[in-house]
Amino acid sequence: MKRLIRYAAMGASLGVLGLVLAGSLAGCGERRGSKDTAAAKATGRIGETEVVVVEEVVSCDGKNKIMIAKDVRGQARADARMDQWKRNNPDRHWVEEEKTAHNFKPPADNSDVLEGGQREGNVYGDFTETDLLIWARETEKMVAEGSRIFHSGDRLGSTVGVSCDMCHPHAANTHPETYPKFQTQLGRVVLLRDMINWCIENPVRGKKLEADSAEMRALEAYIMAQRKGTVMNYGKQ
Ligand code: HEC
């Protein structure tokens, strides 16, 4: 924390042009703004301290922003991001617990992204092992949230105390890799989310989820994560 503020203050006192917040919405884990989007100035706050924001990384729940001053580079940047990420995620023990309880598969190994080193000018020059760790943890967090819902009649809004795992342990027989496909009981081509909703309304006896709700997105994430390594084969009955 202290380190970050010092760098940030240094950036400000040097009159470094802050930028960012230039328009487009970033997805989680993506960076908003870069050295190239100069024009707009923006400032942010870390605690009491005003900083010049040069990069924002939005976490997957959309709540937390990681702000780092422009002239923080290399390992210092990696450390600053990790510091902030940890502070933004004080509750991450439940992810480990969920992982242990339901034994879900780890996300892909992205270490090839770092090949060729982290030097300036490299396409991936800004990425470090810390980035890879953040990507993996944020991804696991979404999957873990899906796992919690999948295993909870309450979270699913079941009126008969039924959760998905009772019929689909570890998401067995959910076949996400076969979508889109023609589903006979619905009489049309559907996506995974439509069958999730079919099961919520029928065996689970709950209320359909909005297709874009946080719960539906997490359920999809969990189900797909469980089928890691399975070949995609849409249309398969
Ligand atoms: C009481 C048992 C039961 C429960 C509980 C249940 N399902 Fe199902 N599920 C089924 C059956 C049976 C099918 C097969 C339906 C068919 O294809 O005719 C199915 C099919 C599916 C499919 C499509 C599989 C495929 O091969 O395409 C998905 C996805 C799915 N369920 C997800 C869920 C989710 C998510 C939950 C929790 C919200 C859930 N199910 C709860 C019994 C259940």
Q: Taking the domains of the chain in order of start, what are their residue ranges? A: 1-89, 147-226
Instruction: Report yes or no: 199 and 166 within 8 Å, Cβ to Cβ.
Output: no
Residue 67 in 3-state DSSP? strand
Q: Which of 19-28, 84-93, 129-138, 155-164 has the highest mean pLDDT?
A: 155-164
pLDDT tens digit sequence for 77-125: 777 777 877 777 777 788 888 988 998 889 999 888 887 655 555 555 5
Distances (CA, A) of 228 to 12, 131, 175, 221: 45, 22, 11, 11
Instruction: Report yes or no: 6 and 72 within 8 Å, Cβ to Cβ.
Output: no
Return the CATH number of the domain spanning residue range 147-226: 1.10.760.10
For residue 43, report the distance from its CA to the centre of ligand 1, in Å.
49
Q: How many CA atoms lie within 13 A of 8 on its CB side?
A: 24
Mutate to test the pocket of ligand 1, among 147, 151, 163, 174 (most ligand atoms within 8 A of CB): 174
pLDDT tens digit sequence for 165-214: 999 999 999 999 999 999 998 999 999 999 999 999 999 999 999 999 99
What are the pocket residues of ligand 1 if the criterion is a CB atom closer than 6 Å to any ligand atom?
A: 156, 162, 164, 166-168, 173-175, 178, 185, 192, 195-196, 199-200, 203-204, 219
Cross-strand pairs, 32: 56
Residue nearest to atom 1 of ligand 1 (CA): 203
Please name the residue that has the structure tokens 């967090």. 141
For residue 31, report the distance from its CA to the centre of ligand 1, in Å.
37
| 127 vs 19: which has the higher pLDDT | 127
For residue 173, report the distance from its CA to the centre of ligand 1, in Å.
7
- Here the tokens at position 172 are 């067995």
Residue nearest to atom 43 of ligand 1 (CA): 167
Three-state SS letters, 96-160 = HHHHHHHCCCCCCCCHHHHCCCCCCCCCCCCCCHHHHHHHHHHHHHHHHHHHHHHCCCCCCCCCC
Instruction: Report yes or no: 29 and 59 within 8 Å, Cβ to Cβ.
Output: yes
Q: pTM here?
A: 0.72
**Per-residue pLDDT averaged across 49-64, rounded?**
55
